[in-house]
Structure 1
Amino acid sequence: MTASGQDTVLVVGAGPVGLTAAAELVRQGARVRVVEQRAEPTTQSRAVVVHPRTQEHLAAMGVLAPLEREASAITALEIYAGRDPKQPTVRLGTEHLATRYRRILDLAQPRTEALLAEHVASLGVRVERGVTLEGLEQDSTGVTATFTSAAGRDRSRYAWVVGADGGHSTTRTAVGTRIEGVFEGQHFLFADVVAESERSPDTVRMFAHPDGIGGVFPMPEGRTRLLFEVEPPAAGAVPTIARTQELVDQRAGGAWHVTDAHWLAYFEIHHGQVPRYRHGRVLLAGDAAHIHSPAGGQGMNTGIHDAVNLAWKLALVTTGRADPALLDSYHTERHRVGASVVKQTTRMTDVMTVNGPERGLRNLALFLVGHLPPVREELIAGIAEVDIHYRGSPIVTGRATSRRHPHPGDHAPDLPGLRTADGTPTSLDELLRRPGHLLLTSVRDNAVLDEYRAALAGFGTVVPLGSGGLQDPDDSFTDRYGTGDHGLALIRPDGYLGLITREGSPEKLSEYAQRLMHGTQASVPGGKSRTS
């Protein structure tokens, strides 16, 4: 589907973020055109980590299963900060993460992109490669984009534009904004190599060193991703296997022997983000909106989350079901996440490179983290991005029934033991493959359920639990959500709770629908939005 026109969304960029945005827009009912400046897909495996929260999103999209078949499963992160490169200072396991995907997946970015591209193609969207965005002009009714390609120069009109065109974003420049942050830059050697090691392949390892942080990420088929912070290389310098091995010996105790290289490159990384994610009818996502250290492997993941958060809202707007004011909530919810990721990854990189007395204090802090399970679990939850929430967002409402139950804006907890009416095992991921919101309720009165459907006004599907509906033999819904016999939980298309209450009513659903339709900026209690 090559589309243009007043009801079409232009997605600029066909990396993981742009492809996710396109797939989710189409799934939620929007028309899409995707353009990409590169003539061919990338061969650079910059991003290899797929965190658990991202896996939840990919599962709802229907993309996770093929990715699982190719990726390496990682169940721990080890940090080495002491003198012994064989003894980790702290080990963070994934077994207690609050998600059904209690592992990290490692896969080279070209394969992740390829799987997303196949999914987008299955939805009827053709990625137009070799098309360069030259400029944007917008007014109150749309955006005119100017492109150049082998076919010449073209101007086309669109309803909205999503800029997912990376750290050197043309879209960002076209709307007159820029990344604000630290511009001294950190230099990294990225290496996708074949390496021999006796270390187990189920663990990501980070190495602290005064000269720069180091990281080792196991990948499938005997490949290993290495990254090392380095001094600024000379102009035109090209990394080599010998230099890579030297860094492994210096910072990782020589525990890997590099025998071949798929890809070696130097990169300069800055830290910062744009002041606003929305500029009229143009919205920025991924590296176009925020850039930061690769420590923690959160860049691609944060961008995919941007795309998932934005797409369902933009689909509602472009199909006429919601006012454009709804899109302000994209900035409200995701800018704070991006700011926190930038801050966290910058701090992580700085802490891992301290020397002198500060190094001893750092090592003591890591030792304490390793021996305090609650702190250890909180740290890995932040790195794995499963503690993101949107509490306090203007488009969530309701109230948690107790401290142990989820709040409006939290990610919807999984429901183990859930089955369809015929007894087939299912999950929230599978239920969220339906377009729109998902309303779960223990109410079984058909008349009330019909009122719920009318109140949702076409925003989603009502799914009762119990007789004739979903089977919940372990009563996990009322236990995990605390909704009782009369409550409900309304799950947004991105898997977060838009509404949760013990006293369900058509009026509360109508109020929520009004928030979406009109982008209501009402004040909602509930505290700050967490960020990774």
Structure 2
Amino acid sequence: MRTPTDVYDVLIAGAGPTGLVLALWLHHQGLKVHIVDQAEAPAKDSRAIVVHARIVELYRQLGLADDLLELGYKLPATNLWFDGQHKAQIPIREFGQDLTAYPFLLIVPQSEHETMLERRLNDLGVHVERKTKLQDFVDHDSSITATLSHQPGGTSSTINASYIVGCDGAHSVVRRKIGAKYEGDTYEPLFYIADIEARDDTFINGEGHLIFTDDTYNLLVPYNKAGHVRVVGLTTQRNNDNNDHGSPTHEHGIAFEDVRPQITKATNIDITKVNWFSTYRSHHRVAEKFRRNRAFLAGDAAHIHSPAGGQGMNTGIMDAINLAWKLATVLKQTNMSEDAKHQLLESYESERRSFAMMIVKSTDTGFTLITSKGFVPHIVRTWVIPYLAPLALKFDAARGRVFKGLSQLICNYRASSLSRSGEGAVQAGDRLPWAEMDEEDNFSTLRYVCWQLHAYGEILPHLEEWARDNGVKVFAFDWHDQYVKAGLVKDAVYLLRPDQYIAGIFEGPSIESELKEYFATRGLKC
């Protein structure tokens, strides 16, 4: 329970997955956080259900990966259908076996995901202040003062913090306050989304199904429970504000009974129960800036995506982990210059906004080709997806590229000021390549949220002493040919940031002096 005199390191507006992950990572690094949300409890509906491999990797840092895997369902394959004919089965779990310990799409309802995160936060003594909305805040340059509105009753209170982060969604108060335009557009098609229970030997088989019928599509994704399926599709119904089916309708005036014939025509499944139904229009937008002074944006407040590939929630979680260690650094490193603090915090926007722009562009392209009318989209739906795509995916190189892009393993910060320039297949700014040896992997050390060194092969005698004196953890791995396949270099030393990305790759006898230069030129201490 907070008191009116409490001062926090970080105030977080919004307790969705992005806000909860940010709170967990900040607390883990010793910061005092407060998180508020308008809702009375975690969301009961679950638009976001896919958690990608990169997120599971990052969750290992705080021991959350096993809990998430216990909740989720590992989608083994997806199937392509066109006008009632099965065109291909795509074995997703074979795509990333040499890339990550988690070579699958993990299906976890967002409601269960949020509940897991909030339970862990509560176990640590941090509780979401529910039924509380951020009304406004004032940035004093050295701190912020926020005004909160509480329900029921509409009473207000103020809270002081060093920084504020808006994880408060597409209608973000923080984004409006910092004057960031939300540039992009709204897709014209109207979509439906439903969680159903059904019976069928063909489509209710534990695999995903992408079904093209009548120039529209329906997507079926199974849950953990047998017979429970998420169905998403492009509606073929016009808005019907006077719906009289007697079943729940959404604001667009369309009820599940309006789309049931569409689902039946595509799949002929026996739907026994509808647990949730909604309609929505999808958007693609990116805020023109992610930061102004002591205020930051993350998640849907900063970017919103088409549903193609399930990238939105995953991108927001990566925002949170990227920002958390940078806020912790500037708040805990007392002798850090103001210029160095500014440069480090600026790197959040430069790194995450460029990635968000890339994701929005790629998902927009794919989404438009699937949903638009016209000759080219029609050719993509009728020929490229059902015939050419499965053929291309028979090649390992193509499968690897698809998995890296889908799972966000492709994310890199090579252009960042925090990345030491280099060349080669693996460079500074990249995710550390994963490699498994004797039932152990080189990611096992990444449970520490700190700077660390990975030495593959011979390690210089004084490097461990330097690392110990500077508070950097160092881990030595005996060289093996498996590391060549992963793209690692023998006898090279990899400096890893607290968020598991490579800051620099060092070789030769001058590693120690080059490490000193890296930190000194950026005003950082390890």
TM-score normalized with structure 2 length = 0.87
- 1:398, distance to aligned residue in structure 2 (A): 4.8
Q: Is 1:396 aligned to residue 402 of structure 2?
A: no
* Separation in 1, partners of 2:288, 2:214: 32
* Separation in 2, partners of 1:479, 1:337: 26
- Indicate how the Cα distance of structure 1 residues 324 and 123 shifts in structure 2: closer, same or farther if over 3 A, else same: farther
Counterpart of 1:248 (choices 263, 266, 269) is 263
**Aligned-partner residue type, residue 513 of structure 1:** F
- Indicate how the Cα distance of structure 1 residues 214 and 202 shifts in structure 2: closer, same or farther if over 3 A, else same: same
The DSSP-based 3-state class of the residue aligned with 1:263 is: strand
Q: For residue 123 of structure 1, what is the aligned residue in structure 2?
A: 124
**Aligned-partner residue type, residue 517 of structure 2:** E
* Separation in 1, partners of 2:514, 2:2: 40
Counterpart of 1:505 (choices 495, 502, 511) is 511
Where do 5+ consecutive residues of structure 2 fail to align?
242-250
* Separation in 1, partners of 2:375, 2:280: 30
Q: Is 1:317 aligned to residue 330 of structure 2?
A: yes
Q: For residue 141 of structure 1, what is the aligned residue in structure 2?
A: 142
Preserved CA contact (<8 Å) 2:186 2:284 = yes
**Aligned-partner residue type, residue 146 of structure 2:** A
* Separation in 1, partners of 2:367, 2:264: 20
* Separation in 2, partners of 1:448, 1:429: 21
- 1:127, distance to aligned residue in structure 2 (A): 1.1
- 1:266, distance to aligned residue in structure 2 (A): 1.5
Where do 5+ consecutive residues of structure 1 fail to align?
419-424, 466-471, 520-532
Preserved CA contact (<8 Å) 1:482 1:502 = no
Deviations 1:394-431 (CA, angstroms, capped at 9, x unpaired): 1011534x43xx2111111123126xxxxxx6444442
Q: Is 1:207 aligned to residue 226 of structure 2?
A: no
Please show how residues 465-484 of structure 1 align to structure 2 within 5 Å: 465=477, 472=478, 474=480, 476-477=482-483, 480=486, 482-484=488-490
The DSSP-based 3-state class of the residue aligned with 2:231 is: strand
Q: For residue 48 of structure 2, what is the aligned residue in structure 1?
A: 47
Q: Is 1:114 aligned to residue 115 of structure 2?
A: yes
Please show how residues 287-436 of structure 1 align to structure 2 within 5 Å: 287-320=300-333, 323-355=341-373, 357-358=375-376, 359-360=378-379, 362-366=381-385, 367-372=387-392, 373=395, 374-400=397-423, 402-403=424-425, 406-417=426-437, 426-436=440-450
**Aligned-partner residue type, residue 500 of structure 1:** I
* Separation in 2, partners of 1:447, 1:197: 65
Aligned alpha-carbon RMSD (Å): 2.6
* Separation in 2, partners of 1:318, 1:481: 35
The DSSP-based 3-state class of the residue aligned with 1:517 is: coil
Preserved CA contact (<8 Å) 1:147 1:154 = yes
- 1:238, distance to aligned residue in structure 2 (A): 5.4
Preserved CA contact (<8 Å) 2:143 2:161 = yes
Preserved CA contact (<8 Å) 1:194 1:258 = yes
The DSSP-based 3-state class of the residue aligned with 1:207 is: strand
- 1:79, distance to aligned residue in structure 2 (A): 3.8
Q: For residue 283 of structure 2, what is the aligned residue in structure 1?
A: 270
Q: For residue 451 of structure 1, what is the aligned residue in structure 2?
A: 466
Percent identity between the two aligned chains: 28
The DSSP-based 3-state class of the residue aligned with 1:311 is: helix
- 1:316, distance to aligned residue in structure 2 (A): 0.7
- 1:184, distance to aligned residue in structure 2 (A): 5.3
Preserved CA contact (<8 Å) 1:131 1:149 = yes
* Separation in 2, partners of 1:444, 1:356: 60
TM-score normalized with structure 1 length = 0.86
- Indicate how the Cα distance of structure 1 residues 202 and 58 shifts in structure 2: closer, same or farther if over 3 A, else same: farther
* Separation in 1, partners of 2:312, 2:137: 26
* Separation in 2, partners of 1:163, 1:409: 26
- Indicate how the Cα distance of structure 1 residues 379 and 415 shifts in structure 2: closer, same or farther if over 3 A, else same: closer
**Aligned-partner residue type, residue 75 of structure 1:** P
Q: Is 1:158 aligned to residue 156 of structure 2?
A: no
Q: For residue 86 of structure 2, what is the aligned residue in structure 1?
A: 86
* Separation in 1, partners of 2:18, 2:174: 14
* Separation in 1, partners of 2:78, 2:440: 30
Q: Is 1:492 aligned to residue 515 of structure 2?
A: no
The DSSP-based 3-state class of the residue aligned with 1:86 is: strand
Counterpart of 2:475 (choices 463, 469, 480) is 463
- Indicate how the Cα distance of structure 1 residues 200 and 53 shifts in structure 2: closer, same or farther if over 3 A, else same: farther
* Separation in 1, partners of 2:389, 2:72: 29
* Separation in 2, partners of 1:294, 1:394: 31
Q: For residue 524 of structure 1, what is the aligned residue in structure 2?
A: none
- Indicate how the Cα distance of structure 1 residues 202 and 294 shifts in structure 2: closer, same or farther if over 3 A, else same: same
- Indicate how the Cα distance of structure 1 residues 448 and 377 shifts in structure 2: closer, same or farther if over 3 A, else same: closer
Preserved CA contact (<8 Å) 2:80 2:209 = yes
User: What is the total number of aligned residue pairs between the two structures?
Assistant: 496
